[in-house]
Structure formats: structure tokens, C-alpha cells
């Protein structure tokens, strides 16, 4: 039979296994006059440090009795009081689990999912409103009320991202997802992408005569396509297409931008072309086109 000390040692080894998640970003969340240490883990979880939560709520570490009760009921100790549990509005899910992780420098830490904090605050505020709290719990409820006011205008995840500096990484990740959806590693076979009607409308808007020879357009037509088609795709798409398709020593591109698009990107490009042609047809010159597109952008 394994002794109690051996059980504790085995449990500790499991918690701090080499696969224990590590934080990539750390910071201090300033909320309602409180400073809460927080982290973003490599798997994307936003975590508030356990000690910081206790300190913010004006509580000391949980007593042995509270810890035992919390373990049985699978609640954090600061939520496990008998007069609080009826006010829990979330299911017993992973947000209630204590998270063992390491800081970017390797320090062993414990914390809870950041989205748990608003739920804790709501528990205390509602229980206080019903008059079921003890005097010591009422002080915590007052803190929770202030925290809820601070959370009223912005989500906890956004606050943690900002405090840890993860917001830039999040933006890069979202951009990479977008680029993966739009831009293919494989080159599409060339096909005519822009219909004759598109070019005819360009010439009409500029007051030019339409040429008899197909695809013999001045260089400024390419600038028009970049400005009114590719620049109006989601941010970052055109820049990545330029990287995929650099000009050669003669200043021309061997492949066309649209040859690097995925099915999703190609579909969106076609929609952009059709929509732009519809705007071009109701304009008498390029300035009118600019004005219409500016108004359309303001309404989106």
C-alpha cells in the first residue's frame, strides 16, 4: 500500500511533468484598483494566478477544511462555501479546475481560467443581494461588485491579452489563419480572371478609347486592379500575394496574384470583381467611384 507521503510525491510529479504547459506571455491586469497577475499559456488559455485571485478577493489561502471540501465538490475553495454554491450559474467544467503550469522563465505556478473571475463575482454579488453572506464574505462581495463594474465594458480575455502583451501575438495568429484560408501553397493554372466588361468600364471611367488588341493595357490598369480589387480584400492578403509572386529582373511578375489563391480566396476575389463592376457601371468617372466606395466602407 502506498503511503500518504508517496501519494503526494507521485501527484506532484504528475503535476510538474515535462509536458506541463508553459506560459508564453505574462503580465499584470489592472482592474478596479486591483493588480492581478495573469498569463497566456502556449495552448491559448488565459489564466489568472491562484495567489492573485485570493489576494484580490481579500482572502488568505484556503484552510485545510476548505481545501478538503473543494476537492470533494470539485470547486475552487473560494467558491465552495455552502451558502455560495446555489449561486453558481456555470456547469462543472474545466474552468473550475486548478491549472498547473510554468511561467515563461520556468517558475511553477497555479491558476484558474480567467473567464472564471466574472462568475465568481456574480456569485458573491447575488448572494449578498439575497442577504445570505457572512460578514467576511460581504467584504469580498464589495470587491466583486467593483470588479464587475470594471468588466462591464470589456471582456476578461481581452483584458488579459492586453496586460500580457499577447494581443500582438493574437493578431499575428489571426492573420496567419486568414492567410492560410486565402492563399495556397500550390500554384493554380492560369485562367483569365477579369472579364472584358471590367476593362471596358475602366476605359470608360478614364475617358479612354478601348483597344482592339486584347490584354494590351497600359501599366496604370494594373495599379487600378491593385487599388480597387486586391487592396479591398482582407488586410494582409495583397502583401502576402506580393511575397508569393515577386517581380523578376525585368520588373514583371511571372505569375498572377490570383494563381496563388485557395478556393476560398478565389471565390472572394470573384465577388470583389463583380461588386466593383456594379459600382463602376453607375459612375461617370473615377472620382465618383472613389466616393461611392468610401461611403460603402463607412456603412460596413
DSSP string, 263-285: HHHHHHHHHHHHHHHHHHHT-SS
222 and 151, same domain (yes or no): no
What pTM does this model have?
0.52
Strand order in the sheet with 23-31: 23-31, 34-41, 46-49, 108-113, 99-102
Q: C-alpha cell of 254?
A: 511571372
253 neighbors 247 (Cβ within 8 angstroms): yes
146 and 206, same domain (yes or no): no
236 neighbors 176 (Cβ within 8 angstroms): no
158 and 183, same domain (yes or no): no
230 neighbors 261 (Cβ within 8 angstroms): no
Q: Per-residue pLDDT for the chain (300 aa), expressed as one digit of tens each?
A: 445 455 555 555 556 667 889 999 899 988 878 889 999 998 889 999 999 999 999 876 655 565 565 555 567 888 878 888 888 877 666 778 889 999 988 899 999 999 899 889 999 999 999 999 999 899 999 999 988 877 765 567 777 777 887 777 766 666 666 667 777 777 778 788 888 999 999 999 999 988 876 667 888 998 999 999 999 888 888 888 888 888 877 777 878 888 888 888 888 898 889 989 999 999 999 999 998 888 877 665
Assign 45 to helix, strand or coil.
coil
Q: Residue 70 has what DSSP assignment?
A: H
125 and 103, same domain (yes or no): yes
The size of the chain, in residues, is 300
What's phi and psi for 155, nearest 5 deg? -70, 155
The residue out of 130, 164, 198 marking a domain boundary is 164
45 neighbors 170 (Cβ within 8 angstroms): no
Counting runs of H as helices and runs of E as strands, what totals does the chain give? 12, 5
For 137, half-sphere exposure in the C-beta direction (CA atoms, 13 angstrom radius) is: 21
The residue out of 132, 164, 196 marking a domain boundary is 164
Please tell me the total count of domains within the chain: 2
183 and 149, same domain (yes or no): no
Residue 98 maps to a domain: yes
- 145 is in which domain, residue-wise? 4-164
Residue 169 maps to a domain: no
Amino acid at each position: 500500500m502506498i503511503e500518504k507521503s508517496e501519494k503526494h510525491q507521485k501527484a506532484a510529479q504528475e503535476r510538474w511533468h515535462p509536458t506541463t504547459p508553459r506560459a508564453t506571455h505574462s503580465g499584470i491586469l489592472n482592474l478596479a484598483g486591483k493588480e492581478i497577475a495573469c498569463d497566456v499559456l502556449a495552448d491559448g488559455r488565459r489564466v489568472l494566478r491562484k495567489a492573485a485571485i485570493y489576494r484580490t478577493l481579500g482572502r488568505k489561502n484556503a484552510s485545510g477544511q476548505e481545501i478538503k471540501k473543494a476537492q470533494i465538490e470539485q470547486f475552487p475553495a473560494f467558491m465552495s462555501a455552502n451558502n455560495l454554491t446555489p449561486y453558481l450559474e456555470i456547469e462543472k467544467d474545466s474552468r473550475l479546475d486548478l491549472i498547473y503550469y510554468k511561467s515563461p522563465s520556468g517558475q511553477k505556478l497555479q491558476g484558474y481560467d480567467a473567464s472564471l473571475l466574472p462568475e465568481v463575482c456574480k456569485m458573491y454579488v447575488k448572494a449578498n443581494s439575497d442577504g445570505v453572506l457572512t460578514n467576511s464574505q460581504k467584504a469580498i462581495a464589495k470587491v466583486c461588485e467593483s470588479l464587475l463594474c470594471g468588466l462591464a465594458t470589456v471582456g476578461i480575455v481581452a483584458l488579459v491579452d492586453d496586460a500580457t502583451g499577447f494581443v500582438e501575438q493574437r493578431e499575428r495568429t489571426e492573420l496567419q489563419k486568414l492567410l492560410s484560408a486565402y492563399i495556397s501553397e500550390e500554384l493554380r493554372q492560369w485562367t483569365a480572371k477579369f472579364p472584358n466588361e471590367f476593362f471596358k468600364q475602366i476605359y470608360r471611367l478614364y475617358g479612354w478609347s478601348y483597344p482592339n488588341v486584347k490584354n494590351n493595357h497600359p501599366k496604370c490598369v494594373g495599379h487600378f486592379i491593385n487599388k480597387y480589387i486586391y487592396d479591398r480584400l482582407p488586410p494582409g492578403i495583397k502583401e502576402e500575394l506580393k511575397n508569393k509572386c515577386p517581380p523578376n529582373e525585368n520588373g514583371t511578375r511571372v505569375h498572377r496574384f490570383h494563381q496563388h489563391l485557395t478556393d476560398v480566396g478565389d471565390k472572394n476575389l470573384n465577388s470583389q470583381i463583380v461588386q466593383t463592376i456594379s459600382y463602376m457601371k453607375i459612375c461617370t468617372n473615377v472620382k465618383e467611384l472613389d466616393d461611392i466606395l468610401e461611403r460603402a466602407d463607412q456603412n460596413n
